[in-house]
Amino acid sequence: MRCMGRTAYAALVLLAFGEATGYELKQRADRTLRFFFNAPAMSQLYTELDRLASAGLVDSTDTTRGARESRRFALTDSGRDELRRWLADDPLAATVFKSHLALRLVVGHLVGPQRLAVDVATERDRVRHALDELDVVLGSLDPNHEQLGWAWLVANWGDRYFRDMIARLDELADLLDDPEARRPFVVDHPLDGSLVTLVPVSDLDDEGVQRLREIHRQPEIIRVWGEPSPAWPDDPGVHGYAVVDRDGAVAGFVQWAEEEDPQYRHAGIDIFVDAGRHGTGLGTDTVRTLLAHLVGDRGHHRVVIDPAADNAAAIACYRKAGFREVGVMHAYEQGADGSFHDGLLMEYVAEGSLGRTGRGRPRR
């Protein structure tokens, strides 16, 4: 097995389509190779051709055309054998995805979506231009040609790749413009507290979902939450968790949603616990556990909750978790009986958030 670099094999691949001068090989690379592989610079190409000639894999012939002298290169039998051996025996090297746009996006929080939207548009224009050029190449190739049919396969693959890339860049532009659209992509994970584990509803088995629906139908909970819909707890608009105690029993439900507008960014939560488990500390631990996630992991500095103003037990639970009353919201919510009742707006503001940017982590 020869020890040669990628550029050497790229040169052999180019020569497989016929002899050429170094300049002609560079043109050949710019018409084909650059769409899917780094096209070598002229100086790099000549260096590799000289090495291949010294190894007996390429034949070099001096030619004169008018007053201009040039060297023509062609594969030798050994060079063609080496190309076949490389194709047959060498393992496929890993493709490394390299994107200047991705490198900038990963620290996009430093400049914001408006600036990076310009970069996304620039990248889209470049891909569109490359697609237009590739379509010309694709149209010139015969898919049934014995030799060039293989090149047609690559060009057709590239055509579909570029078209899909444009679609993905359009999707990326939409996600930059509308942070709300990113919500379905947030992956929820189990969250461990002192007394409970919050398990994403998507991880529950059928028995767990059934138990959750049974708790939801308890009179004390229906009075506030109403009847569960047939699809509940599968709600794409929120992040829902089953409250699971240390014995593995489902004991309640908690959910959160977030406002992503940078000027008003915050999260809101709702919770219910099995009526038979009230007063056991499960509710307070659930709220503290979710707060730790929203503040420490999701980066929220403010979290709100809005219990019924007459739900003294819930209000006391939220106070223990660190919430404070903001004010009564009159005729805020319609109950199961059709009448409107008052709600109490409560908020948790992470330590150090007032007057400056910062994160705080609630104690558990």
- Looking at per-residue pLDDT, the higher value among 264 and 354 belongs to 264
Q: Is the sign of the CA dihedral 200, 204, 209, 215 positive or negative?
A: negative
Q: Tell me which H or E stretch contains 143.
A: none
pLDDT in tens, 40-55: 788 888 899 999 999 9
Percent of all residues in the chain with a pLDDT value above 70, rounded to a whole number: 93
- What is the average pLDDT across 285-298? 94
Comma-separated ranges of CATH 1.10.10.10 domains in the chain: 6-179
Q: How confident is the model at residue 180 (pLDDT cuts 50, 70, 90)?
A: low
Helix/strand/coil for 206: helix
Q: What is the predicted pLDDT for the residue at 3?
A: 67
Q: Are 306 and 332 within 8 A, CB to CB?
A: yes
Residue 179, preceding peptide bond in cis (omega within 30° of 0): no
Residue ranges matching CATH 3.40.630.30 in the chain: 187-349
**CATH architecture, range 187-349:** 3-Layer(aba) Sandwich (3.40)
pLDDT band at 73 (very low <50, low <70, confident <90, very high): very high
- Residue 128 pLDDT class (50, 70, 90 cuts): very high
What does the pLDDT read at residue 363? 41
Residue 235 tokens read as: 């709600």
pLDDT of residue 358: 41
Residue 189 has pLDDT above 80, yes or no: yes
Cα–Cα distance measured from residue 321 to residue 364, given in angstroms and rounded to the nearest whole number: 8
Architecture of the domain defined by 6-179: Orthogonal Bundle (1.10)
- pLDDT one-digit tens code per residue, 305-363: 999 999 999 999 999 999 999 999 999 988 777 889 999 999 999 986 655 444 444 44
Mean per-residue pLDDT, 141-161: 93
| Angstrom distance (rounded) from CA 227 to CA 225 | 7
Phi-psi region of 66 (alpha: psi -120 to 50; beta: other; left: phi over 0): left
pLDDT number for residue 181: 67
pLDDT tens readout for residues 152-166? 999 999 999 999 999
